[in-house]
Amino acid sequence: MTDQLVLRPALLADGPAVVALWQACGLVADYNPPMADFERALTSQVSTILVAEQAGKIVGAVMAGDDGHRGWIYYLAVSPALRKRGIARRLLTEVEAWADARGVRKIQLMVRPSNSEIQEFYEQTGYGETPRLVMAKWLDKEVAGNPPPDRS
């Protein structure tokens, strides 16, 4: 990379670029409104979004939250053309530092079982599978009546 990579907290104005990155990386599900996720994370006291910027363009992003019991990582994305250059690792390190500074003792994330490439990345960065069953209930009445197929 010739242009220096800058990591910084996201701004509300970054929303369209970050959501476009999430979409380009296949992280957006039809039933989750990504701009609402973005805005909610930035306006909450218990979450953050960090972006990686290069030559004035957002090339990476990660969202994190603190639920009071655990930290959570969501939407870790790097521009497909710039993968395997350490950007995801830097974002992950920064978001872990954010969580640690808040007193979070354990940070978790969810990965679709079909996404073996990202599973390998997380294993290389110290994450391991936790034997838990995740259960869910749709509170959105529109979705609850016609739940999306399970793509996990």
Model confidence pLDDT, tens digit, residues 46-80: 999 999 999 999 999 999 999 988 999 999 999 99
Q: Is there a domain that residue 77 lies in?
A: yes
Say which residues have a Cβ less than 8 Å from residue 10's Cβ, sequence separation at least 6: 18, 38, 42, 48, 49, 50, 51, 61
Q: Is there a domain that residue 129 lies in?
A: yes
* pLDDT average, residue stretch 96-122: 89
Cα(115)–Cα(102) distance, integer angstroms: 30
pLDDT at 143: 63
Q: Is there a domain that residue 83 lies in?
A: yes
Q: Is there a domain that residue 150 lies in?
A: no
- Percentage with pLDDT > 70 across the chain: 91
Using 50, 70 and 90 to split pLDDT, how confident is the model at 30?
Answer: confident
Q: Is there a domain that residue 151 lies in?
A: no
Q: Please report, as a single letter, which amino acid is at residue 25.
A: C
Say which residues have a Cβ less than 8 Å from residue 133's Cβ, sequence separation at least 6: none
* pLDDT average, residue stretch 23-35: 89
Residue 91's domain is classified under what CATH number?
3.40.630.30
Report yes or no: 79 and 59 within 8 Å, Cβ to Cβ: yes
Q: Is there a domain that residue 20 lies in?
A: yes
Question: How many structural domains comprise the chain?
Answer: 1
∠ CA 44-45-48, rounded to 5°: 70
Q: Is there a domain that residue 152 lies in?
A: no
Q: Is there a domain that residue 62 lies in?
A: yes
Model confidence pLDDT, tens digit, residues 84-100: 899 999 999 999 999 99
Look up the domain containing 138 and give its range: 5-144
